[in-house]
Each structure stands twice: as C-alpha cells, then as structure tokens.
Amino acid sequence: MKEVIEETRLNNGLTILTDRMSGVRSATLGFFFRVGSRQEPLELNGISHFIEHTVFKGTAKRSALDIAIETDRLGGNLDAFTSHEETGFAIKVIDDQLANAFDLIADMLANPRFDKADLESEQRVIIEEMKMVEDSPEEHLGDLFNEAVFGSHPLGLSIAGTPKTVKSFSPERTRQYHEQVFNPSNLVIAAAGNVEHSQVVDLAAQFFSSQVKKDNSTTSPVPTLAAPILITLNPNLEQAHLIISTPLVSGTDERRYAADLLGGIMGGGTSSRLWQKIREERGLAYSVGSSAIMYQDCGMFSIFAGTSPDQVGEVVDLSIAELRDVAKNGVTEAELDLAKQQTVSSILLGLEDSAGRAATLAQSELIHGRQISVEEALEKINAVAVADIHALASENFRTEKAAFAVLGDLKGLEIERERLSIG
C-alpha cells in the first residue's frame, strides 16, 4: 500500500502531516506535542501527564460527560498518553467523522476549562494511579530503575510526578503551563487513512491559526547513565522481577537500526537467545526478553525477566553470558537475517493500519524533523551487517557500564559487580 504523504507547516509552528490510504474507510487523527515529563521544571514534575488527564474534564462548550458521549458516538477509541519526550492524543474513526473528531479533540486541547473542583478530583485519580503502579511489580521496578540510572536528571523522574507535585497543580499553574507549551509551536497533527490533506489543513487553520508562534523551546542536558546495583525487597511478591541494562545509542543515531536488530536477536521473540536459553531450555521464566530503548540523545539496552526469587542468580548468569558472547563473538548471519525478516514484516504489516501510519508520521517528525520513507527504512535495515552488531555490542556491553535492579522476596540475595562481568 503506497504512501501518499503530504505536509504543511503554518507560520505559528504547527506541522500538519497526512498519509492517504486508498481503499479504506478508517481515518486516524493524532495530535502530538513535543513536550513530555523531560521538559518539566522539577517543581512541576508530572504536569504534562496531569494536563493530558484534565483536558478530558471539559471545555467552555463541552462538559466531561459531553466529551465521553461524543467519543462513544464517534465509535472510536480516544487514546491519550504522556511519555518522557511527548504527549499525544489520537482517535480512529470512520472517514466521514473526521471533521467531528477534529472538532472534539481540538476543542479539548485549545480550550480546556481547568475548573478547580475538576482538577482536585483528577489529582486524587492520579494519586490512585501512582498506587496502582506501586502494586504492579514490573512498572514499579521500572520507575525505581530509571531513578537509579538517571539520578536527578528528568529522565529519572516519574512521568506522573509525585503526590506532592500533583497536589500543587492549581488552575492558575496548570493553565499557565498549558499556554506556555501546549500550543501550536509544539504541535504536530498527523492523520492517516481515507483523508484529504486540504481538509485537515483547513480544520487546523480554523482552530489554531490565530495563535502566534511562541519561543517555548525547553531542553534538558544529555544524561550521564549510572551503573547501579539495586536490590529492593518486597516479601509480598511471589516472583522476583529483574532488569539488566547497558547504555546504547540514541533514537537519532544512524546505528539505531542495528540497535533495534540487536534487541530482537537477544530477546525480541520466541526464537531469541534469551527466550530459548532461559525459558525454553531451562524453564526459569515465563516472561523474558530485551529491547532497545532510545531517547533523542541517549539510549539503553535492557533485559527484563520475572522468575522465582531463588532463581534470580541463575537468570542473571545466563543473561550476562549472552551479553558476553555477543560482545566477544558477535551474532551469526542467520540470526541477523531472521531479525531483519521479523522487523521488515512488522513494518510492512503496519502499513495496513491507519493508526500505525499516523503514529509513524508523528514520530518521524518529532524525532527527526522529516519523514523517513518505508523504502529508506527498509534499505537501512537491510544494510546492517554482522560487523555493525558486533561493534555496537562490544562498545556498550561492558562490565563497568552494566546496571542491575531486582524487586521481590529476595531473602538476602547479593549481586556483586563481578557477577555482572561482561568484559
């Protein structure tokens, strides 16, 4: 299914991208802001996530119930998310409902009410969300691990903030931050499916053209990744959850294609090294894998697993052995070819879904400032050689760079640096 991508950039900084897909009746519309928890001042930690929640509480012309009813009437699922580096809102609807969907989301984002009672109610909701994360071992360990690795850098802070910061988000403070950063200067609108570029541009101009461009760029320094060994006790857990990580390249590095393939070879599927060695051959874990986590200026290679507390040491040893082997010997042509086939298939199958294509439009713009065609991506993937994978692993899979964290009923478990010896 061929891409027909068009773009328009308004004088106020707003970028509009469309990808027309023939032969479909769906249309996905997304609003993506170049701002997440990473751009927040320390005292406002969590305010982007808070705004993501509270724009659903009503506008000058719609109540929260109106928004809910209208969303259901559109037949779509209105998703919203906040990450460290972006905040997004997206809905998938039938093509003839695109204008109505645009009107709904644009009104929420441009004209939120930020009523005091509504904000206080949502503060309680978000604090309950924090408790839910603490009750989810994998998510809780991820927060603890990020804090240990990134320290006081914004990437080490919780996206949701803390109870203290969230309770401080008054209507005035919330409105001021919303006006400062949640505006067209930081906004990318992406639509894919049976859409007309001119219609989306007209709708965007209707809602946002009156707003002027603002100099609201905020940056945080490139983080220095620590290599902690973190053991957190929780006697109420049946399983122990662990993470092993090393630094990796950023999402803007040309080696990102090799990094993704390395993640797939190590733990990206049922044929991967970690899955076969830890789950299939020894039955030590139900869930085990690895991934390449890439931000705009740094990255991490991360191994994760859940296992019985008395098996943590064995899982660590097997994982480190695989890191050591790839750092020393690299991967085989067969492994790399399989990872390429898996990645290419995922990309091509994603072309059939308007939601995936809208997200791809936005990510290319947010991260790279341009569109990366499917042809270019496939060419870069197929150009990765075993030598590229080996170089990446030998540079980053090193003992002094390895970080480790585990959460569970650990009964005196000790993990020394020597046990993480990669080379």
Catalytic sites, residue numbers: 52
CB 179 within 8 A of CB 209: no
Sequence-separated (6 or more) residues with CB below 8 Å from residue 159? 36, 37, 46, 48, 49, 82, 83, 84
> Which H or E run contains 403?
strand 403-408
Q: Report the alpha-carbon distance of residue 339 to residue 133 in Å, rounded.
A: 32
Which string of b and e fits 315-335 if b means at least 16 CB within 10 Å? bbebbbebbbbbbeebbeeeb
Cβ atoms 69, 61 nearer than 8 A: no
* Phi, psi for residue 93 in degrees, rounded to 5: -140, 175
SS (H, E, C) 196-235: CHHHHHHHHHHHHCCCCCCCCCCCCCCCCCCCCEEEEECC
Asked if 293 contacts 246 with a C-beta cutoff of 8 angstroms, the reply is no
- Greatest Cα pair distance, the chain, in angstroms, is 64
Q: Of 211, 178, 219, 215, whose CA–CA distance to 14 is shortest?
A: 211
Amino acid at 26: S
Return d(Cα 176, Cα 182) in angstroms, integer: 10
CA-nearest of 403, 400, 269, 419 to 335 is 269
CA distances in angstroms from 382 to 229, 299, 372, listed in the order given: 37, 22, 15
Q: Which of 250, 260, 247, 295 is nearest to 380 (CA)?
A: 260
How many alpha carbons lie under 13 Å from residue 311 in its C-beta half-sphere? 18
CA dihedral of residues 334, 335, 340, 345 (deg, nearest 10): 90
Distance CA 305, CA 35 (A): 31
